[in-house]
Structure 1
Amino acid sequence: MEQNNHARYARQYALLDFGEQGQTKLAQARVLIVGAGGLGCPVLQYLCAAGVGHIGIVDADKVALSNLHRQPLYRTTDVGRLKAEVAAAVLRAQNDTITVAEYAFHLNNQNAWDLVSSYDIIVDCTDNFETRYVLCDVCALLHKPLVYGAIYTYEGQVAVFNVSDSAGIRCQYRDLFPVPPSSEEAPDCATTGVLGVLPGVIGLLQANEVIKLLAGIGEPLINKLYTIGLLDYQSVTIRLQPQHHPDAPGSRIAFEAANYGYYCGSANEHVALISSAELDAIAHQSDTLLIDVRALDELPRLSLPHRSIPLELLMANVHELEGSHLVLICQSGVRSARAADWLKNYFGNKQTISHLQGGILAYQSEKNDE
């Protein structure tokens, strides 16, 4: 087995300043990847191939057809299956010398502490701010290195948090985003679209940062934010500075008591979520009005009776909204939550306001599974 391992990693053994010592450090490491989507796929595949000894995968989502253009870890036949389970099986087949653990659940502040505690490096491959802030805070409290990556249409960014530089300075994700951006400031890729190769490029850079940290080679992006645009290859590296964060929890008790959904605007305590099944049950009721707040040319279209009012025009047309139950719908649930919040503040208790959980993409996915 040792001879086989040497053959498998021969090109890394041959590297100056890496060699057997660097490979041993990778083999002894435990790395947790949170998110097995566009960013997570290349991170998982290349850390597996490089010989990281123990890889953990956290993702509760199922493979969707719209994932496949940027998540080549999955095949068409995997649609509807749990990403964590599919990814774990692929990695085990790719490299039988490592251990792979899958966690098919959403990471939150109730389960993050014990899980993150058991890993050496955490890789943020998530696509929502609620999970990002959970990761930020638990990693800061536990002093765990956090390798961050994010994408937007044709651009991406990478950084390394919670690692001290030569001056003893250590930055965290909150130093980049002190407060969560709104959905308008940072829309998701279901809203804006994304070039399929972009998460591959950024995910590879994240994997590279993990290897540099583990092997002790090169200059990791500690306290730095690297950004690159794929249309012109313009890139910039920004040095970050630590800030004071009064909103950040100072202990495990405070962390687990925090309401991250409300803090990040992804869960309004006063606006109800409805499921796809509930939507079908009420869609044709005379007192219910479905409102699609996406742009008029966004696909797929909603087949149920509804009105289309783009989010930016909603409040200008609020006087035309008739119905005792208003149901807001968008692509993934982000804009509809914002719209439902606006209407709840406008109407108060005069009308029932809710929005579709997971948006039209989740609705269609559930229909396809039936």
Structure 2
Amino acid sequence: MNPLTGDSAGTLPPLVDPVPDLTAEERARYSRHLLLGAIGDEGQRRLRAASVFVVGAGGLGAPVLMYLAAAGVGRITVIDDDEVDLGNLQRQVIHSVPAIGRPKVDSARERLAELAPGVRVEAVHARLDALNIGALLEGHDLVMDGSDNFSTRYLVSDACEIAGIPVVWGTIDRFRAQLAVFWSRPPAPAVAVTLRDLYPAPPPAGSVPSCAEAGVVGALCGTVGSMMAMEAVKLITGAGRPLLGRLVLMDLLETTHRTVTIRPDPSRTPVTSLPEGGDDICGVRPPGTDDVPTVAAADLAAELADAGPSGSVAPVLVDVRGAGERSIAMIAPSVWVPLDSVAEDAADPTGVLGRAAARGPLVVYCKSGVRSARAAATLAVAGFSGVRSLEGGIEAWTRDVDPSLPGY
């Protein structure tokens, strides 16, 4: 007996009612589905009737979008505010070289039109926030969360908890991934489980590296995105046992895969509203870094240019990113002290940081300015004075000072 659903199979009723019939062309296109007893004609007609909202057209969104469209989902809405970059193509297989510089949602919509012309695809080139998510979710049966940041993940979870819409959720990191289905109002006797039952609150900003900082193997995106699409098919058609109340943990490098049960937190206060004003659920800066002085990229470049025998002392740049990031691009000259080594090095007067501070005021930089703010705060506690964080990190430096540096 499944404790979440009250039956041995763990199935849920189909999420949507079927359309009356399929065309001859649709029967030919989806013939392999029609042969499957768990889907069949009725299941395919349910897929045709379904409306799915996809958050993100990136690493997870790419395979999700392609397999949902190929499966015959009738209406797909995709939202993403980003443009295609060369570094995306290693994993975001829905895009191609000619799409570089274009909005990801436009690239995705065109690819899906080639793959499945009968599917209605709506592209929203915008940032999802607390002000627009409610209206955007209206009329959709299911949400696929392929976002790559904690703020959006919790925003999506909270909005879907309020609306009672199920969420297929996936997250990836290097070679590892997690996958689950959340639903605040599933049909009885299933038990409601949301992201906040699993992880009550997002981690502090900057404490968990993003894929852009830590890296991710491309095949992991395809694996997890395909599994997310399968969860959508199961929910829409009523086939099989969805992952509601279960969390899949996988490591492709070790080829391990296990499933654990998620139970509702009886002490958790249900979410009934989103932050007013569209504020992010996660803070932009890590705790304890609000008072860290910052310097803009253009201003830092001017300081470096003005320094010299007759000018001011040149700032010394400290790179706190990982070795892989530094191998892609760096601001020269700069010393390298990875973030997890900053506190230990700062405690050693003969360390890299101590010797660097003797040469001039320190300016710490990372990819976007979050980790460097944490490092600067750590150095201030350790007794270093005048330490600043490069606002916007090497991304801002590349944009405003040295466009020749490769992005990542």
Give the TM-score category using the shorter length.
Answer: 0.7 to 0.9
> Please, which runs of 5 or more residues in structure 2 have no aligned partner?
1-21, 308-313, 347-352
Among candidates 203, 212, 224, match of residue 225 of structure 2: 203
1:59 correspondence with 2:94: no
Contact kept in structure 2, 1:261 and 1:267, CA below 8 Å: no
Percent of matched pairs sharing the same residue: 33
Structural mapping, 1:203-352, within 5 Å: 203-243=225-265, 244-246=267-269, 249-252=271-274, 254=275, 259-262=280-283, 265=286, 270=291, 280-281=301-302, 284=305, 286=307, 288-296=315-323, 298-315=326-343, 316-317=345-346, 321=357, 327-342=363-378, 351=386
Determine the structure 2 residue equivalent to 1:95.
116
Q: Name the counterpart of 1:45.
A: 66
Separation in 2, partners of 1:333, 1:178 = 26
- CA 333–51 in structure 1, closer or farther in 2 if over 3 Å, else same: farther
Alpha-carbon distance in 2 for matches of 1:134, 1:167: 27
User: What is the match of residue 32 of structure 2?
Assistant: 11
How far residue 270 of structure 1 moved from its aligned partner, in angstroms, is 4.7
Q: Deviations over 1:67-109 (max 9, x none)?
A: 2111121222322222111111111221111111112222122
Partner residue of 2:390? Answer: 355
Contact 2:297-2:390 at 8 Å conserved across structures: no
Alpha-carbon distance between aligned partners in 2 of 1:323 and 1:32, rounded to the nearest angstrom = 54
* Contact 2:161/2:271, CA 8 A, preserved across alignment: no
**1:228 Cα deviation after fit:** 1.9
**SS of residue in 2 equivalent to 1:90:** helix
Question: Rg: which structure is higher?
Answer: 2
Superposition deviation, residue 199 in structure 1:
0.9
Letter matched to residue 311 of structure 1: L
Backbone CA RMSD of aligned residues: 3.3
Q: Cα offset for 1:119?
A: 1.9
Give the secondary structure class of the aligned counterpart of 1:160: strand
Q: Map Cα deviations across residues 306-362 of structure 1 (whole Å, 9 max, x no partner).
A: 3322212323436654799754322355423433454577789x74734342x4357
Quick check: 1:151–1:157 contact (8 Å CA) kept in 2?
A: yes
Equivalents in 2 of 1:277, 1:83: separation in Å? 29
Q: Quick one: which amino acid aligns to residue 245 of structure 1?
A: R
Q: Is the contact between residue 124 and residue 135 of structure 1 (CA under 8 Å) also seen in structure 2?
A: yes
Q: TM-score scaled to structure 1, two decimals?
A: 0.85
Deviations 1:22-50 (A, max 9, x none): 12211221111111111111000000111
Q: Who is 2:189 aligned against?
A: 167
Change (3 A) 1:275 1:172: farther
TM-superposed CA distance for 1:272, in Å, is 7.2
Please report how far the alpha carbon of residue 173 of structure 1 lies from its aligned counterpart in structure 2 after TM superposition. Answer: 0.6
CA contact (8 A) 2:365 2:389 kept: no
